[in-house]
Structure 1
Amino acid sequence: MSKRVLLLLAMLMIFVIVVPSVIPKPAPSPELSSRPKRTVVVLLADSLTAHAIDEGIRLGRLPTLSRLIRHGQYKKDMVSVFPTMSVVIDQSLMTGTYPDQHRIPALQWYDPQEGRVINYGDTFAHVRQQGFLRTARWFLDYNRRHLNPRTQTIHEALLRKGYLSGSINMTAYRGPFLHPIPFTGQTTRGPAWFALGPYVSRTRPDGDETTTLSPTLYRNKDGLRLLSRWLRDPNHPDLMMVYLPDTDKAAHRLGPNRWTPVAKLDRELQKLIASLGSWDSVLRQHVFVLMGDSGVVAGKQDAKYLITLNKLASPYRLLPYGVSKRERNADVAIASNERMAVVHPLRAGVSLDRLIEKYRGIPGIDWVIIQKGRDILVWQGSRQLRFRSAGQWRDPYGQTWHLEGDPHVLDLQLDPQRHLVQFGRYPDALRLVKGGIGAQRGPCVMLTSLPGYEFEWGTSSLPNRGSHGGASRQELLVPIVVSDNSLPLPRMLRVVDLKQWLIRLVEVQHHPVSPR
């Protein structure tokens, strides 16, 4: 995810350079506040895994995390969302909802209104094909237009309760405050304190706003350096959210579960704490929540494990990146997300049944998923499961389902006497699949790959050493570390449960300010 964000930030900077405007006014000196502060600091480390944490602790290489865990809470099996791509997971964290509710389908997805594959920025080649300015607009629209406007974010909910919040480098950031983007004439809505790479904007309780540019990049140390500066401001918000991308870079390059990138993160966290004071004083003033967003599956370093989009499209004509269906006579559009892909028919002559039959026989494909009305159908080879919400089967999260067909497709264990369904390799599988296919726009076939395989245009010779996007246990289970015991984590915890838990955590740490 981080390399894509770097590209998008570079494009936003191009926006800044080519469109003239006025120089923003400098920030005023902060006024002292008499309000007691115990801030909740959420650190989202992309592709952080519990295995890497455990191995680093076993080797004695993670003293900072070890100390945080001893003083607080550590869970290794928080359930993420599907597809396991950061842009989807982050909005589920922000809104407490699944993708079919917040409406962000994937990093790449087909938009029938634009007639194009929306790509928030996965590779430089694709960004160049679809256009730098168009990609920059889509990156802004990710929060402004693509995110369901009726779904409340944590920043919006906190202000209603009288609390202020801040965001550093989070791609999901929609909030109640309007922030101008320097030199572009564009605006975006975020929390009171808002930073995205070199762009920093703050709205103070008295309504005064400052917008500046700083010479920072989109790296762990840049985000943590700004966090340190903000936390030393006596007027800082009650909740701070910070995105840390470096663990994701390492996971794609080196493969899953390496402890060495986590050791680097541990040293960076130690520097952050040291910049704020002594250990005891820092933990008295702040509650730190360190979490991953998705796990990583090892890629097999052989070109035969790449499932190319041309192979998925054949014998139909594939819509290229950056091209609208109104500009090119194409039969199908395909959006690929590493270990997940979605195929959209663009004309009546393309048969979904024919596509399903074909994909069930392609080596490397795991699930073939479609939605028909309220029903969701999942194939795994020759086996089929059909399900929908509201039925006689109850899962461990209290959700009920109607099931027909082979439960082994999603590795479900059924207790007919009590009408209970338990999950095996795919935690929360039914709701995750419903959320993933339900977020897509229009008729489509959703595909996942077997471990080691990836969906790809054919521009790479080998799969990544680590990838995600699918719904395997390795991708779905992520760690969370809390430096405090004042509010226990839910026993069965999902990313979609964190929004309300974080709001409650803020409430038990602070006395609210009056909302403006």
Structure 2
Amino acid sequence: MRGAEPLRIDGKYLLVAVILTLCVGCTGHPAAPKENDLLRMQAGNGKSSKKVIFILVDSLMHRSIDLGIKQKKLPTFQYLIDHGQYYNDLVSSFPTMSVTIDSTLLTGTHPDEHRIPGLIWLSSKEGKMINYGTGPAEIMKQGVGPVLRDALFHLNENHLSPGVETIFERLHRAGITSGSINGLIYRGKVPHALSFPRWIAGAASLPAEHRVKGPDFLAFGAFSNPFEGRTNLTDRLTKRFGFNNDYAVEAVTELIRSDKLPDFLFVYMPDMDRTIHRRGPSDLEGVQSVDRQLGALLQAFGSKEKALEKSVIVVAGDSGMSQLLPAAEQPVVDLTAILDEYSVLAPGQPAGAGAEIALAVNETMAYVYKLSAGDSLRDIAGRLNEEARIDFTAWKEDGWIQVMQAGADGRSFRYHPGGGYKDRYGQKWTVEGDAAALDVRLNEREPSLAYGNYPDALRRLFGALHSHEGEYLVVAAKEGYELSGQSSPTHKGGGGHGAMNRTESLVPLLIGGTKEKPSSMRIVDLKDYVLKLLLP
């Protein structure tokens, strides 16, 4: 049997291929849905009759849009730019990994508040590595069942902080309808059922059905398809069970044509991430495909003009990608080799298994955990910073965040919130040492600070270093390189993200159908922008 293409949710791997190897010859289909989301779709009590459709395109980059526009290959993007707002400097979350970014976008908070640190991270509470779907080898060692349960259930029910409110929860409180199509962060107030085929449930030790709470309308691939029996969406096994762009656009189109759009609809389109990881960020095929799909979505209203008359259309990227060097130029930085004097927690092992350190590699950034090593975080950082392909390391120490640039003559500084230096977002900081280590420029006269290659660097790094419990470092690779652990996936010659540099942090934002402008160009502030459009 030929291997199936891995299913990607959140733009990352969830290995259907692995499950298939365990279940050759098994059959079965998802159970019929036990609720009818479409009956709930009626206008709420918002201040505008216009619906808001927020389309998050995984790995959409402004340079791809600009190049495609220049070559006259993107008519839909061109229309949105000509008849709306276009920004090329929206600051993403950090780490620049989809699950963390989505959490930031939909809660309006940084990781220190929403508590989703990355695609993979170590939970001291659970005593194990949490993996929402990295790569084949790592998932096999971690266990397909635990990875799927963490991604499909625990992410929303346990890991996403109950102390933050998602946009779906906020709109429900206001009596305004909302929906999500393939968003991995979907927590809301309305009961739904995720249903799984017998062969998946058996292989991964999942229940045949699992009750969750989401927005009024929840489409989650084949596992929650409100259109089952009404229309055929692209949710076959060979199409990654509906976790693809075609499914998302078909679902939105059906809602538009049946006049069932909720007041707010979040749509996740994952396909570009796979293309760019393989071919690198200069590839235009993915953005051309997205352009055609967005065009079909707008035409479902009758025309592009009618689409912007009847709705506000927001299209955003989640993270950029750096071009990784080809294999011959050694783009992969093996952290286990650099830290070879320490015993490293193996994938699937509990945190108390006697290892001295643990590695959670999120492509071009990583968390390095001190479990029982006698050395301090500063000592471990010193070892890492001897590697020329590493950009910087950072850690918490005595109430400060310490930052050390890699290299023999690497700069270092420390900072904490509060103090005399104000940044462009109104945030205040105390800074000591050489802030040029993160390309932060201090103005003593104002006093103020400005960011260079690392947008909103101090707040985003603070968020990552306070996103979960434990003693750990943040490590970032230089552009062109990616990090690896014992079995993390690599993308030599392709694209990579995770780090905090401008290339991986600045994404495009397009808005049509309103003259209302965002107050700030940060993903963390877009929840408030959407609420401003919808709430009376």
TM-score normalised according to structure 1 size: 0.90
User: How far did residue 199 of structure 1 move?
Assistant: 2.3
Q: Distance in 2 between matches of 1:346 and 1:126?
A: 20
User: How far did residue 363 of structure 1 move?
Assistant: 2.2
User: How far did residue 235 of structure 1 move?
Assistant: 3.7
Q: 1:74 is matched with which residue: 64, 86, 90?
A: 86
Q: Which residue of 2 aligns with 1:506?
A: 534
Moved more, 397-406 or 440-449: 440-449
Q: Distance in 2 between matches of 1:26 and 1:141?
A: 22
* 1:328-339 alignment, distance < 5 Å: 328-339=353-364
Q: Distance in 1 between matches of 2:439 and 2:41?
A: 57
> Do 2:415 and 2:432's aligned partners in 1 also have CA atoms closer than 8 Å?
yes
* 1:27-106 alignment, distance < 5 Å: 27=36, 30=39, 37-106=49-118
> Do 1:412 and 1:423's aligned partners in 2 also have CA atoms closer than 8 Å?
yes
Matching residue's letter, 1:504:
K
Q: 2:164 is matched with which residue: 151, 169, 193?
A: 151
Q: Distance in 1 between matches of 2:15 and 2:36?
A: 23
Q: Deviations over 1:146-196 (max 9, x none)?
A: 111010111111111221110001111111112222252422221110111
Structure-2 change in CA distance of 1:46 and 1:420 (3 Å): same
Secondary structure of residue in 2 paired with 1:323: coil
Secondary structure of residue in 2 paired with 1:199: coil
Q: 1:484 is matched with which residue: 510, 513, 519?
A: 513
Q: Which residue of 1 aligns with 2:223?
A: 199
1:263 maps onto 2:288 in alignment: yes
User: How far did residue 302 of structure 1 move?
Assistant: 2.5
Moved more, 302-311 or 248-257: 302-311
Q: Distance in 2 between matches of 1:371 and 1:405?
A: 15
Q: Which residue of 2 aligns with 1:474?
A: 503
> Do 2:59 and 2:319's aligned partners in 1 also have CA atoms closer than 8 Å?
yes
Q: Which residue of 2 aligns with 1:457?
A: 485
Secondary structure of residue in 2 paired with 1:272: helix
> Do 1:40 and 1:287's aligned partners in 2 also have CA atoms closer than 8 Å?
yes
> Do 2:124 and 2:470's aligned partners in 1 also have CA atoms closer than 8 Å?
yes
> Do 1:4 and 1:122's aligned partners in 2 also have CA atoms closer than 8 Å?
no
> Do 1:252 and 1:466's aligned partners in 2 also have CA atoms closer than 8 Å?
yes
Q: Which residue of 1 aligns with 2:447?
A: 419
Structure-2 change in CA distance of 1:364 and 1:221 (3 Å): same
Structure-2 change in CA distance of 1:213 and 1:76 (3 Å): closer
User: How far did residue 453 of structure 1 move?
Assistant: 1.2
1:3 maps onto 2:8 in alignment: yes
1:130 maps onto 2:136 in alignment: no
> Do 1:153 and 1:174's aligned partners in 2 also have CA atoms closer than 8 Å?
yes
* 1:397-416 alignment, distance < 5 Å: 397-416=425-444
- Alpha-carbon RMSD across the aligned residues, in angstroms, is 2.8
User: How far did residue 76 of structure 1 move?
Assistant: 0.6
Structure-2 change in CA distance of 1:33 and 1:94 (3 Å): closer
Moved more, 379-388 or 214-223: 214-223
What number of residue pairs does the alignment pair up?
498
Structure-2 change in CA distance of 1:26 and 1:375 (3 Å): closer
Matching residue's letter, 1:410:
L
Q: Distance in 1 between matches of 2:261 and 2:97?
A: 30
Structure-2 change in CA distance of 1:368 and 1:30 (3 Å): closer
Q: Distance in 1 between matches of 2:517 and 2:476?
A: 35
> Do 1:306 and 1:458's aligned partners in 2 also have CA atoms closer than 8 Å?
no
> Do 1:168 and 1:241's aligned partners in 2 also have CA atoms closer than 8 Å?
yes
Moved more, 266-275 or 386-395: 266-275
Structure-2 change in CA distance of 1:461 and 1:486 (3 Å): closer
Q: 1:349 is matched with which residue: 370, 374, 389?
A: 374
Q: Deviations over 1:257-295 (max 9, x none)?
A: 433321111111112222331222222112110100111
User: How far did residue 200 of structure 1 move?
Assistant: 2.5
TM-score normalised according to structure 2 size: 0.86
* 1:100-499 alignment, distance < 5 Å: 100-139=112-151, 140-182=153-195, 184=207, 185-200=209-224, 215=236, 216-302=241-327, 304-326=330-352, 328-347=353-372, 349-381=374-406, 382-457=410-485, 463-490=492-519, 492-499=520-527
Structure-2 change in CA distance of 1:12 and 1:171 (3 Å): farther
Q: Distance in 2 between matches of 1:153 and 1:78?
A: 20
Q: Distance in 2 between matches of 1:38 and 1:126?
A: 45
Q: Distance in 1 between matches of 2:29 and 2:513?
A: 47
Q: Deviations over 1:227-275 (max 9, x none)?
A: 1112223343100111111111121111114333211111111122223
Matching residue's letter, 1:64:
T
Structure-2 change in CA distance of 1:144 and 1:34 (3 Å): closer
Matching residue's letter, 2:220:
L
Matching residue's letter, 2:211:
T
Unaligned runs of 5+ in 2: 1-5, 197-206, 228-232
Q: Distance in 2 between matches of 1:325 and 1:497?
A: 35
Matching residue's letter, 2:343:
R
Q: Which residue of 1 aligns with 2:204?
A: none
Structure-2 change in CA distance of 1:494 and 1:98 (3 Å): same
Q: Distance in 2 between matches of 1:409 and 1:57?
A: 36
Moved more, 303-312 or 328-337: 303-312
Secondary structure of residue in 2 paired with 1:3: strand
Q: Deviations over 1:367-400 (max 9, x none)?
A: 1101124310000033111000000111111000
Secondary structure of residue in 1 paired with 2:242: coil
Q: Distance in 2 between matches of 1:241 and 1:413?
A: 37
User: How far did residue 23 of structure 1 move?
Assistant: 5.0
User: How far did residue 31 of structure 1 move?
Assistant: 8.8
Matching residue's letter, 1:484:
G
User: How far did residue 8 of structure 1 move?
Assistant: 3.1
Unaligned runs of 5+ in 1: 204-211, 509-516
Secondary structure of residue in 1 paired with 2:454: coil
